[in-house]
């Protein structure tokens, strides 16, 4: 069964939507972004989140000790590194589930997968000047022959119209969505519901 992560949670309304719709993961962005939350806001939101929904902290090129401070204070389930973090850096977080994002433009970018000893690889679109959340997909067909011994998390431009095709081609373990379930920059309950129902329908 394909699991679902809704990323960019930052309001109490978002938590209310999640508690009704029950995706598998909720993502909290600590990197500079229009969806960024600070540790106090994240704590208040996570306290109200259904305990069955796992929490994912999203970090970009952040100091290791700052990441550990947030991870421990918030009791995060997953640490997602979405910047230029090296394999040596991502090896520093024993005791946590670790996902490393790799931004993909063509098949050569997939060579990076082999370098990381992490629990999951998140594949996102490579867009100049951005670390994610662009709403633009990459060519999923380049993943046809990719096999890995880690969880595969697919992100980048997924929406209710293309998610069935994406799952059919890529066969990911987890799908990750953010901007496509928003209206005017905020999470939209109807869009979230439609996306989650489509994924669960084929799973």
Catalytic residue among 7, 14, 24, 176: 7
Active site residue 124: yes
Catalytic residue among 14, 24, 124, 176: 124
Residue 44 CB neighbours (<10 A) = 12
CA dist 151 and 158 (Å) reads 18
Active site residue 91: no
Q: Which residues are catalytic?
A: 7, 124
């Amino acid at each position: 069964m394909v699991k679902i992560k809704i990323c960019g949670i930052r309001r109490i309304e978002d938590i209310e939507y999640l508690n009704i719709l029950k995706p598998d993961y909720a993502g909290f962005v600590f990197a500079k972004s229009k969806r960024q939350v600070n540790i106090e806001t994240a704590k208040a939101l996570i306290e109200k989140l259904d305990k069955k929904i796992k929490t994912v902290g999203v970090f970009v090129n952040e100091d290791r000790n700052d990441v550990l401070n947030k991870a421990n204070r918030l009791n995060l389930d997953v640490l997602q590194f979405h910047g230029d973090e090296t394999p040596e850096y991502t090896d520093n977080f024993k005791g946590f589930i670790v996902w490393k994002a790799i931004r993909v433009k063509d098949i050569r970018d997939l060579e990076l997968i082999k370098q990381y000893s992490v629990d999951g690889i998140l594949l996102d679109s490579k867009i100049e000047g951005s670390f994610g959340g662009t709403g633009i997909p990459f060519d999923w067909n380049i993943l046809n022959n990719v096999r890995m011994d880690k969880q595969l998390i697919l992100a980048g431009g997924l929406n209710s119209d293309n998610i069935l095709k994406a799952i059919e081609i890529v066969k990911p373990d987890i799908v990750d969505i953010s901007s496509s379930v928003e209206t005017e920059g905020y999470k939209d309950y109807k869009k979230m519901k439609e996306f989650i129902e489509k994924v669960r329908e084929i799973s």
